[in-house]
Structure 1
C-alpha cells in the first residue's frame, strides 16, 4: 500500500520529517517497506521550448529536437513518440544530474553524446526520470505559458511529495486507505483526525424509479449502493487529482474513473462507474452463472470465468465481475453522459476464490478479499458523487439506491483491565486505555470495577475477542515502552535428538558461510511441478485451495528459484540462499502417509554477483566452483569430508555418495528454467537428502587421525595433455590409485588451452605431495612412481606428459 505524504496531511497533522512518520507506522504495526521522495533535487532540470522537430536520418524511432533553454538553442535527440514543436518540456542539460539512480544505485549524469551519429546536448525527460511518477509513456509536457529557462523546481512544487510504502497484514483491511492509516497515527500521537464531510441525501431508497437492483444471494453481496448521475462530461482529470493518483503509482484515466480510484484510496471502499447508456434495460442484477462464462474485462482480455462466480448484470448480459473488474461493454468513455456509481459489500471468500481462479488480482479485489467496512458503502458513493459535481457543476444525482438485505450486526466486547496487565506485563491506567481506544473509534466506556465495554466499529472486522483489544492497546502504548522482566527464570530444556542436532548443525554452518535461510510453500502448481519431473511420480492434492497449490513439491528447487526471481526483480545483486524442508513423492510404503513418501532435504543455491564493482577490483559472478567450495565446507563441518565421494555427471554437474548411498547432486540450473523464472545470470544449486545423510553417518564411522609427521614431504608438479572431454577429476582419481601410500595429497593448480597445445586438447597441471612417516623423501624415491603414473595414463587415455 502506497501512501502519499501530502494526501495523508489532509487528515492528520504530520511532522516535516517523513522518516519520523515512517518509523511510527512501523512501530504501530504498519511496517515501512520503502520511502520515495518524488520531484526532489530538480534544481538542475530546466524548462525548455521545442522549436523544431525533424526525423533522425538513421533511426526511425528517434527525432532531432531544437530546444530553447532561455538562453540558447540545444540540439537534443529524443526517442519519445509524443514530442512536438511548441511544447514546453523539462530538460536535463549537459553536466546536470537526474534525481533517479541507475540499476547499480549510481547517480545519472547527463553528458554530451552522439546517438546514431547525431550530437545530443541534453535530455528531454519523462515523469519517471524526474522521480515525479512511474509514468514513462512519453516526455512530460508542461503548461504552454511556462517560461523557458526557469528551474523545474519553481514550477512543479505540486508534484513534490514523499511516498511511504507499507506492508499490510491480511487482518488490517482498514489500513488499505489513507483515512485508515491517518486514524492510527492520530490515535498514536493524540492529534485530531479530520475527514471529509459527507452529507447523505434525504431521498435514499432501497429501489429507484428508473433503476432497480436485485441481489440473488445476500450471503455473497449483503449491500449494494447505486447512484445515478446525469449531465456527465468525461474529460481529463484536474492536476490535483492526477497528482494524487500518480504519486501512488496509478495512471490517470479520466475524471470519472479517477474519482472512483481516489475514493478507494481515501476510504478503502472500491467503486465502479458504469456507462448507463450501455446498460440493457433498467435493472441491475447481482447474481452467479452456473456454467463458465466468457467475459471481456476492461483490459480487453476475454476470460473464462468459472461457474458460481459473482457477476453484476443488466437485463441481458454481465457487465462486471463482482469485486474484481468491470466489463468492456459498459466502461465509461468520452461519449458517456449518464453513469451508475456502484458501491457494494461483497463476501471476502467469494471474491478471493474467483480472483485466485482467474489469477487476476486488482486493487478492488485486494480490499474485498480482506473484508472492507460493511457500513461505508453509501458514504463512499456520495463522496465520489460530490467530487464529480465539484469538477462538473452541471452533474446531477437523479437517484440514490441502497439495497441492504443483511445489515451487519455491531459487536460489543468486554475488556478486563487486569487481563491487559497479565498479557502486557505493565500496569496501564484505565483512563488511558479508554482514551486510546476511543481515538481508534472503538467506542469505550467504564462498565464496572476494572471492566470496560467496547463497541467495535465496522471497519475493524479483525477485532473479534478481548485479546485483539489488548493487541491494540499494546501497539499504541508501544512495545518498546514495556520493560523487560528483571528476575531471571531458569528454564530446563530437554536434550535434542541426534536428528535435530544434525539439522541445527547444517543451518549454523550455512549461515556461517554467508547463506540466507528461506522458507517456501510445500504446495506448488501442476504447471510448475511439471518442470521438475514426471507428474505421475508426484502427489496431487484432492481439494486444492487454488490452482497455484495443487501439487506437493518433489524438490526444494522451485522455492529457491521463486525466491531468487523475487529478490532479483528487486535489484538484489548477489543471492546466497538455503532451505531445509520436506519433499514428497509416490511411495508404496509411505513414510508420510500410505502411498506418500517424505524426505527432509537441504538446498543450497548461488546466483548473481559475488562481488560488486570496486576501485581495486572488478565485479565477479558466482561460479560452479564457489558452490562446490561451500558444499565441501558443509561436509567438513559434519565430519563427512573423508567419506564423501564425488562423481562427475556431465558439464557443471556432480553427484555425491556416502559409500554406496546416493545423497544428492550439485548442478547448474538449465536455461529453460532460468527463462521461466526470469533469471538472466547463471544459477547454481545443490540439493541433498539430509535424512539419508543422518542415517548413513553411523555406517561410515568417525575419521581416524595419524601423528604429525616428523619428516618433510616433497612436492612434484606434472602437466598432462589430454582430450578436452576427459574430466580432470577422473585423472585425479587414477593418479590417487596408482600413487602408492606415499601420495598424501593431490590438487589441480592450472588448466591451459591455446598455443602449443593441439586442437581439442587441454593441459592440466597437478601438484602431488608425497610423504613418508619414516624418512625424508628425495626425487629418486618419487620419479619411479611418476614414471609409472604417466605410462599408465598414456596407455589408458593416450595422455602425454607436457614438456
Structure 2
C-alpha cells in the first residue's frame, strides 16, 4: 500500500520533530510495526502484516499514530444514511457477514484534486466519479465498496455460492469464464454481477453513461475471499482487504463516505434509503487485563499508570469496563482476527509506547558446562584433520533413494535399510541418512567433474537406523 504524508495529516497531526527529520515518518511507522519498504518524496510504500487488514487504510494507520502521541484522530466526513432492513436483495450464503445496497442517481461529475490525492499517491488511475469514490472510500476507511449500474441489473440481487457451470465476465478480461463451484458471488436473475470481495463484472459495471447506481458495501468471510482470489488468479485491493478480515461495523460508514464524495460533485444524489442486513453474531470477546500485568511485562525502568494504559487501548478502539485493578477489554470487530489473548493486548500496549523506550538489558548468561570426553576427542581429531588440509562439509540429513541405490549394495546389507519419511513433499528428501558414504561419494564426484582431483573432506553427522518398533538415533 502507498500513502501520502500530506494526506495522512488530514487524519492525524504529525509532531514537528517527525516532520522535520528526513526519515521522521518512516522511522515512526517502522517503530509502530508498519514496515516501510521505500519512500519517494512524501509517498511511503508499506509492507503490511497479513493479519492487520485495518492497516490497509489511512484511518487504520492514523489510529496507531494517534494512540502513540495522544493526538486527535479525524475521520473523513460521511453522510447520514437512512438505513432500513434489507429487502432489496437476498443473502443465501453464510459466507456473507453483512450486506447493504444504496441507490444513487445522477450523471457525470468529477471529484476535486484534493479528494483525488490518495488515488494519485496509491498509483490508481482516475476514472468516473463513482469508481473514484469507491476506491477512495477503501483507501480512506478500509471498507471496499462496489458500484453496479442499476439499469443493467436483472431483477433482485442475490448473494449466493456459484454452482457448476456458472460463468462470469470479469472486469478487464476479453470474455466470460467458468467460475469454480462454491465461490461466493453477487448475482441477479440472469448473470453474475461480481465475485464477492474480489472483482466486479463487465456487464454490470458503471460507465460514463450510467445514471443510476446500486452501491454495494459488505463484508465477506475472509477465507472465502482468499480462496476465490487464488482460484481465479485475480488479486485486487478489495481482495487484499477482505481476505485479512473486514469489519461488519464499517459497512454503513463505507457506503456513507461514497455517498458524501459523490454528492460533493453536485452531480449525484441518493435516490432512497440504504437496505442493510447483518448476520447474527456472537458478542465481541472480552479479555481480562490488570494494570499490574502490564507493568510486570514492561519490566523495571518503564513505569506506566493505569490512566495511560486505558488511554492507549481506547485510542486503538478497544472498549474498557473497569474492574478491581484492571479492566475487561472488549475487542473491536476490526481486530477480532488478530487480538484474542491477554498477550495480544500487552503487545499492543508496548508497541504503542515504543520498543525502544524500554530498558536495555542483556539476557542471563550461564558459564556453560565442562567439555565431555567425547567433545575433547572430537576437538583433537578436528585439529589433526584441519592441519592435514581437510575441509569440513555439511550435507543434508535427508536424501533421495537413488543416492543409496548408486552404491550397488547387495540385498540385506545394513546400509540398504533406512528410516523413511511418510508422504514426503519432495522425493529427493524421502530417506534419512544412515551413513555419510553416499554423500561422500557424491561430493568427490562433484569435485572430479570440475577437475579438482585432490579432495580432502570430513563431516560430523548423525545417522539414523531403523530398529523395531521405533527408529533410534546413532551418532
CA apart distance, 1:239: 2.7
Residue 27 (str. 1) matches residue 31 (str. 2): yes
SS in 1 for 2:124: coil
SS in 2 for 1:435: helix
Residue 412 (str. 1) matches residue 267 (str. 2): no
CA pair 250-595 structure 1, distance change in 2 beyond 3 A:
closer
2:45 to 159, 165, 185: 165
CA deviation vs aligned residue, 1:664-697 (integer Å, no higher than 9, x gap): xxxxxxxxxxxxxxxxxxxxxxxxxxxx965699
CA apart distance, 1:289: 2.0
Q: Where does residue 646 of structure 1 map in the other structure?
A: 447
Q: Where does residue 326 of structure 2 map in the other structure?
A: 451
TM-score when normalising by structure 2: 0.78
Q: Aligned ranges for residues 281-320 of structure 1 at < 5 Å?
A: 281=155, 283-301=156-174, 302-320=176-194
Q: Where does residue 113 of structure 2 map in the other structure?
A: 239
Bigger helix share: 2
SS in 1 for 2:248: coil
Question: Residues of 2 paired with 1:361 and 1:387: CA distance?
Answer: 26
Contact map agreement 2:108 2:267 (CA 8 A) in 1: no
CA pair 349-190 structure 1, distance change in 2 beyond 3 A:
same
SS in 2 for 1:170: coil
SS in 1 for 2:132: helix
Contact map agreement 2:109 2:267 (CA 8 A) in 1: no
Question: Residues of 2 paired with 1:373 and 1:307: CA distance?
Answer: 26
CA apart distance, 1:176: 0.7
CA apart distance, 1:31: 1.4
Question: Residues of 2 paired with 1:236 and 1:584: CA distance?
Answer: 64
Question: Residues of 1 paired with 2:232 and 2:97: CA distance?
Answer: 23
Residue 206 (str. 1) matches residue 85 (str. 2): yes
Q: Aligned ranges for residues 74-473 of structure 1 at < 5 Å?
A: 162-201=42-81, 203-208=82-87, 212-218=88-94, 220-230=95-105, 232-235=106-109, 237-281=111-155, 283-301=156-174, 302-407=176-281, 409-426=283-300, 427-448=303-324, 450-461=325-336, 462-473=338-349
Question: Residues of 2 paired with 1:494 and 1:349: CA distance?
Answer: 53
CA deviation vs aligned residue, 1:361-388 (integer Å, no higher than 9, x gap): 1100101110012211011101111110
CA apart distance, 1:580: 9.1
2:354 to 478, 498, 511: 478
SS in 1 for 2:103: strand
CA deviation vs aligned residue, 1:576-624 (integer Å, no higher than 9, x gap): xxx9978775779774424745649xxxxxxxxxxxxxxxxxxxxxxxx
Question: Residues of 2 paired with 1:245 and 1:594: CA distance?
Answer: 51
Question: Residues of 1 paired with 2:398 and 2:266: CA distance?
Answer: 61
Q: Aligned ranges for residues 645-724 of structure 1 at < 5 Å?
A: 646-648=447-449, 654=450
CA pair 395-486 structure 1, distance change in 2 beyond 3 A:
closer
Contact map agreement 1:206 1:404 (CA 8 A) in 2: no
Q: Aligned ranges for residues 496-507 of structure 1 at < 5 Å?
A: none
Contact map agreement 1:645 1:658 (CA 8 A) in 2: no
Question: Residues of 1 paired with 2:347 and 2:160: CA distance?
Answer: 39
Question: Residues of 2 paired with 1:491 and 1:696: CA distance?
Answer: 27
CA deviation vs aligned residue, 1:275-317 (integer Å, no higher than 9, x gap): 0000111x11000123153321111244332111010001111
CA pair 8-586 structure 1, distance change in 2 beyond 3 A:
farther
Q: Where does residue 421 of structure 2 map in the other structure?
A: 593
Question: Residues of 2 paired with 1:260 and 1:644: CA distance?
Answer: 63
Contact map agreement 1:589 1:595 (CA 8 A) in 2: no
Q: Where does residue 4 of structure 2 map in the other structure?
A: 4
Structure 1 range deviating more: 241-250 or 310-319: 241-250
SS in 2 for 1:409: coil
CA apart distance, 1:184: 0.5
Contact map agreement 2:86 2:276 (CA 8 A) in 1: yes
CA pair 594-195 structure 1, distance change in 2 beyond 3 A:
closer
CA pair 181-590 structure 1, distance change in 2 beyond 3 A:
farther
CA pair 592-364 structure 1, distance change in 2 beyond 3 A:
farther
CA pair 489-329 structure 1, distance change in 2 beyond 3 A:
same
SS in 1 for 2:361: coil
Contact map agreement 1:374 1:408 (CA 8 A) in 2: no
Q: What's the C-alpha RMSD, in Å, of the aligned pairs?
A: 3.6
Contact map agreement 2:111 2:264 (CA 8 A) in 1: no
Q: How many residues align?
A: 415
CA pair 488-657 structure 1, distance change in 2 beyond 3 A:
same
Is the radius of gyration larger for structure 1 or structure 2?
1
Contact map agreement 1:259 1:387 (CA 8 A) in 2: yes
Question: Residues of 2 paired with 1:655 and 1:355: CA distance?
Answer: 51
Question: Residues of 2 paired with 1:492 and 1:439: CA distance?
Answer: 47
SS in 2 for 1:180: helix
Contact map agreement 2:111 2:262 (CA 8 A) in 1: no
SS in 1 for 2:64: helix
CA pair 215-493 structure 1, distance change in 2 beyond 3 A:
farther
Unaligned runs of 5+ in 2: 383-393, 403-415, 431-439, 464-475
SS in 1 for 2:10: coil
CA pair 331-494 structure 1, distance change in 2 beyond 3 A:
farther
Question: Residues of 2 paired with 1:169 and 1:430: CA distance?
Answer: 29
Bigger strand share: 1
CA pair 336-429 structure 1, distance change in 2 beyond 3 A:
same
